[in-house]
Amino acid sequence: MNKLAVIALGGNALLRGDQKGTIEEQEDNATETFENLVYLFKEGYSVIFAHGNGPQVGNILMRNDAGEQLYGIPQMPLDICVADSQGGIGFMLERCMLNVLRKHNIKRNIITLVTQVVVDKNDPAFQNPTKRIGKIYNKMEADKLAAEKGWIFKEEVKIKDGWRRVVSSPKPLDFFNADTVEKMAREGNIVITVGGGGVPVYIDEDNRVRPLDAVIDKDLAAAMVAKKVKADEYYILTDVPYVYANYKKENEKILEFLDYADTTKYLAEGMFSEGSMAPKIKACLDFIENGGSKAVITESKKLQDKNFGTKITMEYDETDLHKYDK
């Protein structure tokens, strides 16, 4: 049976640096990313993709706000906005990937799914919303929206009189159509799922599926998918070739090979930033402790070169003990 890999596409797979975020920029970035992944398809891997949606869903929310203020168009709730972004980004990724595969004479079906992800409505994250979304308001506007819509706002540290809506980021527990996703992927189809972490939902007391105003970390969602489909490998593609200890400090050090115990220890010691690398490390640990064989964090351009990337396994492979500083 071919190996099954789940790949989480990070921010630079779609947007990079100071780009404006035009559709042309995003298409070029996505195409370049998939060109660097062609070798996986040629090696026969079965692949499931997840992706982020931060800038895109933020733009959708701001369009919502402008439509309401200028024309009185009712705003759509956050779950609909996430679903919108899943469809739009998924369409773009599917088309760019299809063009790359056609260029290399690789025949694969690609299926994009708008995916609902189950969370616990009593998750502690709902007691402390931290994920900032949408536009920045002044205090008067924020107070008015908080009263009218029940939104929660937090002050922006670097912007005077700047307030931004915050929502919770609960842990993903399961996703709909998991068996179908696994079946399609193992049959050789490429599946795009849990875009933007998926649309968060819960099951109420009447056994109905209900949405929540929340966002789910896409790396944790992708790791959850990897667990549910019993993937062999999990990849997080980001904007650095390795994970670093003491990043951007004088004692910065590349971490190329990590086992579960060392990674857990480094995480507990605060070696990884909560705002960037820590969630990725937590996602990898979650995958490994639930039976995954290997998790890798690296740039898409570096994935094919085995000299790059931080590889996390339960225990060190004897062939991987050539750890070194760079």
Q: Which residues are catalytic, by number? A: 11-12, 131, 218, 280
Torsion (CA) 85, 220, 189, 179 in degrees, nearest 10:
-110
Pairing of strands 152-155, 174-175: unpaired
In the block, residue with structure tokens 């193992």: 186
Distance CA 53, CA 154 (A): 21
Residue 54 CA to residue 67 CA, distance in Å, equals: 20
Number of neighbouring beta carbons within 10 Å of residue 157: 6
Measured distance CA(208)–CA(117) in Å, rounded: 14
Residues 6+ apart with CB under 8 A from 259: 312, 313, 314, 315, 316
Dist. CA 161–CA 132, nearest whole Å: 16
3-class secondary structure, 26: helix
Tokens of 66: 């402008």
- CA-CA distance, 190 to 44, in Å (whole number)? 11
The answer to whether 218 touches 194, Cβ cutoff 8 Å, is yes
List the helix and strand counts (H, then E) for the chain.
9, 17
292 — phi, psi (to 5°)? -65, 145
Query: What spatial distance separates the first Cα and last Cα of the chain, rounded to whole Å?
Result: 37
List the one residue out of 325, 318, 313, 317 whose CA is nearest residue 263: 313
